[in-house]
Structure 1
């Protein structure tokens, strides 16, 4: 029985950061220190803030969240969401972001959820992401260029999320280029299937990017007391980056529509050529059918019925008529 793990006591969870996976202390001047979670509440620097991060599915972290924020707010941070959004509660905000997994393919971007609780002097991150790798903590520790405020941290997270999307969008652009090149050699059947798949992928990307932009815009305009003018400028920069990606996706979607119209035009042109050939064949054989039908009537008086060379003479005549019709249609530029 003694080997069974027990959750940390409520008073310890409330007092410190027991149950969290990582504790970061930002001094507000570009410096950051990584510490192990303790039972004692960490001191917040005068100009800085702290970041407490944990796995959203970890039971110990859920216990800490409930003791720190209450059951309702804790559930908001740990329940999966389908869209990026921003919710303001008094002088605090909850931000939901969706991030593409590293190394993901455009066809399956593998979105991951990251939820942030933002208040004066503290940010709580609940996610299954590798937060140290995503934030680039090691680089911040060496360069002394870490975020100086909670809003600055959110803005940088938005920019990093955009950084993961941009290579995937370039790959989508390359795929669209390949489809356009395939149209040059008239591979319309394969191009149609590939274009349909690409358009579905673009829709999925737009569902990821546009809510992210709206979330950053909402956080920027909200009247949070601990947001400075610089913070709002940083959030506006991250929002503009998401908007540029959204505009690029929109332009790519419009380009895909034009490629779709090209495919339709190519198919229509191919169908017109086919119908033209069938019409030409009909025009050529219609008089031949009339003549052969007349000569094939089983009645008396058929010309050349007793001539042994009549069959070949008629065949030569039909051939001359066919060539004459073809020559006439080419002269009319119908062929």
Structure 2
């Protein structure tokens, strides 16, 4: 009794494929091995599947996809996309995942696309990513803990994508903490611009996290004949991980709104203090302006007009009057 079953689609040879991609055979028991023959593609093990991955921009891989998958599915895999999605055609599913590049920063994630065609016994991946590195293939080969089904592979890809986003989300949280700390020391001069930039970055993150969750959820509920209950459970776990990141982003967005309100309140309080000072100055100098205006009239009868010490008397009286007004305002707690 053989442990191999016919492949779901006619696959002739690996000509032009191995130079632009790789072929992996998963035995369905946690094992994985590379296929290096250039003569023919392997058949999927009875309980496992075959993974074919290649560079979506490589002409050789495009030619292979058109020849082995047909123009329709080849175009689906190579078509540019801006959002993660899941599309089911017959008993096959096209899954598109957006992944942050390694070593990315929150301001420059360098998002890359990974398109997967999932069918019974085979998964085809078209991406510019280093798929072997992204999957952690050497670890799978040594630990004998590789995916056991196509759905399990997709679930792990979703978890890998979430793993790359999680430290970036933590960085966003640290930035928000720094902005809140700057408000405590009343340094609001740059807080507004930093907060605006942070909120724009959060929007960009949500555009990656929520579609990833929706993609995994959609794949889980689709009626594909080769999906088992365990497969759907794995997809649900990966979706929950993405949803948790989305919840963290949502919580940070709500915090950012509160911080924005704090900035507005701080600026309003600062403006109120400024207006209070200006009003106090006006109250102090308005009577002085009235006195000096009256004494400055060019008419006869001005008191002490001919007294050489009158100027100093007037100045002293104005100073004493100003001090009295300031003291009065302080007693009323206006200053």
Structure 2 CA distance for aligned equivalents of residues 37 and 30 of structure 1:
22
Aligned-pair distance for 1:14?
Answer: 4.0
Tell me if the contact between 1:56 and 1:126 (Cα under 8 Å) persists in the aligned partners.
yes
Q: Which residue of the partner structure matches residue 292 of structure 1?
A: 292
Give per-residue Cα distances to partners, 1:72-111, cap 9 Å, x unaligned.
2101101221000000001110000000000011101000
Can you give the 5+ residue segments of structure 2 that lack an aligned partner in the other structure? 1-9
Q: Secondary structure at the match of 1:15?
A: coil
Structure 2 CA distance for aligned equivalents of residues 145 and 186 of structure 1:
53
Quick check: 302-311 or 236-245, which moved more?
302-311
Q: Which residue of the partner structure matches residue 16 of structure 2?
A: 19
Tell me if the contact between 2:35 and 2:42 (Cα under 8 Å) persists in the aligned partners.
no
Aligned-pair distance for 1:37?
Answer: 5.1
Q: Secondary structure at the match of 1:234?
A: helix
Structure 2 CA distance for aligned equivalents of residues 29 and 50 of structure 1:
13
User: Equivalences for 1:151-162 in 2 at 5 Å?
Assistant: 151-162=151-162
Quick check: 176-185 or 270-279, which moved more?
176-185
Structure 2 CA distance for aligned equivalents of residues 321 and 281 of structure 1:
13
Q: If the length of structure 2 is used for normalisation, what is the TM-score?
A: 0.94
CA pair 304-205 structure 1, distance change in 2 beyond 3 A: same
Q: Which residue of the partner structure matches residue 42 of structure 1?
A: 42
Structure 2 CA distance for aligned equivalents of residues 30 and 334 of structure 1:
77
Tell me if the contact between 1:18 and 1:37 (Cα under 8 Å) persists in the aligned partners.
no
User: Equivalences for 1:14-163 in 2 at 5 Å?
Assistant: 14-20=11-17, 21-36=21-36, 38-163=38-163
Q: Which residue of the partner structure matches residue 279 of structure 2?
A: 279
Q: Which residue of the partner structure matches residue 7 of structure 2?
A: none
Aligned residues: 323
Are 2:228 and 1:228 equivalent residues in the alignment? Answer: yes
Aligned-pair distance for 1:298?
Answer: 1.3
Q: Secondary structure at the match of 1:151?
A: helix
CA pair 130-18 structure 1, distance change in 2 beyond 3 A: same
Structure 1 CA distance for aligned equivalents of residues 16 and 127 of structure 2:
14
Quick check: 13-22 or 321-330, which moved more?
13-22
Tell me if the contact between 1:17 and 1:52 (Cα under 8 Å) persists in the aligned partners.
no
Aligned-pair distance for 1:141?
Answer: 0.8
Structure 1 CA distance for aligned equivalents of residues 73 and 44 of structure 2:
22
Structure 2 CA distance for aligned equivalents of residues 37 and 66 of structure 1:
20
Aligned-pair distance for 1:64?
Answer: 1.1
Q: Secondary structure at the match of 1:33?
A: strand
Aligned-pair RMSD on alpha carbons? 1.1
